[in-house]
Chains A and B, each alone.
Chain A
Amino acid sequence: MIEKIEPFPKSEAELRTAFWGQLGKFPEGNKIKTCLQCGTCSGTCPVSYAMDITPRQVVALFRAGRIEDILHSRTIWICASCYSCTVRCPVGIRVTDTLYALKRIGMSRKIFPKQFQVHTLSKAFINNVYKYGRNHELGLVVRYLLKSDFVKSFTMMGFGLAMFRRGRLAILPRRIRRVNEVRAIIKRANELGEN
């Protein structure tokens, strides 16, 4: 006897549509369908031990219709983009790019893990690029720490001083000459693609 299959709740259905859209945005995105659940991605991942759900479980949860749970996990923000999983996956799933796709969905819908600020670093980063055309390391780290871990910003001072003494830390950001070009490109690109 075939059990009646309930449709996905509306929010999940919307996230799935968005996710499939994102999977179409990079080569071989649709290969996620061929996942064997072998766990090679989790095994090769240098940081999976610190994730609340492993990369293999990300695919399993997606299949189970629980994208929102994935977005609430720390996993996608812990990934350091080392691409080990991507080169080892026996069926050629681009796991790292798949996690990026999920990050974009979380970002655009503001669905994040609780008490976890990694995504604010991405925000600080893109503000930097818009303002200056380049990334200013100190500004980025300070802005991030002030938002996420105020105490740590003090413990980082010794480190910053050592780098500064050796001329490896700029106090002030420098703007590129034609930053207007970068801003115009960002504006136009933003109008073109929803994310």
Chain B
Amino acid sequence: MTDYAYYPGCSLEMAASPYDKSVREVFKALGINLHEIEDWNCCGATMYMSVNNTVAYSISARNLAIAQKMGMDVCAPCSSCYTILRKTNRYIDWDPIERERINQALSAANLTYDKPVDVRHPLDILVNEIGLDTIRAKIVNSLAGLKVAPYYGCQIVRPYGYFDDVDDPVTMDKLLQALGAEVTHFPGKVRCCGGMLMTTEEDIALKLNLGLLQAAIDNGAEMIATACPLCQMNLEAYQDKINRTFGRNFNIPIVYFTHLVGVALDVPPSKMGLDKLLVSPDKLLARAKEVRV
């Protein structure tokens, strides 16, 4: 498939705008067309499910119903959106009564959702649809020697393990290796960053992120590649606070995995929002430019 209905999600509009930009640029460079779902709304995240099931799935389904009209599968980069949209599909498929209710709710906006569209994560699309061979053939800069910890976080592999193992996923490892990078052992690859706990229960979240950063450093990583806006923000924006709280000295760039694909494909860094990161990866990535393939 070369066309996808693109669902950026709220985080990618602002805090994770570098993720949004890099996904769009990388897909363009690989000849895949992303068509943004027109006037999409919030998927409801984990919050709405704490309040009301029917409402949570109905607002999530509005986006899927619009994608159905477009006749395309959905590409959702935010792990949380990805899980919610997939969960909505599963739920609608499982419970005919609720399917009816959700469609009744959607009818208030003249929408129907009766031909489910698949929801894919860009990591899955890059590796399993486009394929590593196609990507390899387009590499301009090698990431040789760059030591990267692959951080999957929770929700792209759990709970469904749709495209990779729930405990030991390797899709990102393979992708980064194809770009020439050295993927370090990372025991925290599917360990939780705490997500919204950074806002609500900071002490807990800081400890979780301390563990992740330490595990990355201890195993020789120079950089962490993420696939989720919350993981990226917690690991990057709270490094200072973690340093102050626990007496550490972390200064490790946290990029999105798509940034590394983009650098390898020679997409200009500023087009991918790499200059918007708080811990600059420029020095490390400059090395790639020197190793033209």
Contacts and interface: CB of A to CB of B under 8 A. Distances in A.
A, B from the same assembly: yes
Interface of A: 22, 25-27, 46-47, 50, 77-78, 80-84, 86-87, 94, 96, 100, 103-104, 107, 117-119, 121-123, 125-126, 128-129, 133-137, 141, 144-145, 148, 152, 159, 162-163, 166-170, 176-179, 181-182, 184-190, 192-193, 195
B136 to A, nearest CB: 32
A132 B77 CA distance: 22
Given A137-B14, A187-B108, A167 B197 contact: no
Nearest to B276: A166
Contacts of A46: 191-192, 194, 208
Interface in B99-154: 101-102, 104-109, 111, 154
A83 to B, nearest CB: 4
Interface string B76-95: 00000000000000110011
A121 B59 contact: no
B291 interface: no
Given A137-B14, A185-B105, A96 B194 contact: no
B51 A80 contact: no
B1 interface: no
A86 B158 contact: yes
B189 to A, nearest CB: 13
- Chain B interface residue bracket vs A: 35 or more
Contacts of B90: 27
A118 B200 contact: yes
B105 A192 contact: yes
B62 interface: yes
Contacts of A78: 197, 201, 204
Contacts of A129: 41-42, 44, 48, 59
B53 interface: yes
B51 A87 contact: no
Given A78-B197, A121-B47, A126-B48, 10 more contacts: A26-B53, A27-B91, A46-B191, A47-B197, A100-B50, A121-B196, A134-B13, A167-B17, A168-B17, A176-B39
A80 B195 contact: yes
A25 to B, nearest CB: 6
B34 interface: no
Contacts of A83: 154-155, 158-159
Given A107-B50, A167-B17, A50 B204 contact: yes
A137 B248 CA distance: 28
Given A87-B161, A103-B50, A188 B154 contact: no
Contacts of B48: 122, 125-126, 129
A25 B102 CA distance: 13
Among A47, A82, A145, A167, max chain B CB count under 10 A is at A82
A159 B17 CA distance: 17
Nearest to A156: B199
Interface in B168-213: 191-192, 194-197, 199-204, 208
A189 B62 CA distance: 12
30 contacts: A22-B53, A25-B53, A46-B191, A80-B194, A80-B195, A83-B155, A87-B159, A87-B166, A96-B159, A103-B49, A121-B196, A122-B48, A126-B48, A135-B42, A136-B10, A137-B14, A167-B276, A168-B14, A168-B17, A179-B41, A182-B41, A184-B108, A185-B55, A186-B105, A188-B108, A189-B58, A192-B105, A193-B52, A193-B53, A193-B101
A47 B276 contact: no
A80 B192 contact: yes
A135 B230 CA distance: 14
B102 A137 contact: no
Among B18, B52, B191, max chain A CB count under 10 A is at B52
B47 A126 contact: yes
Contacts of B196: 80, 121
Interface string B6-49: 00001101111110000000000000000000011110111111
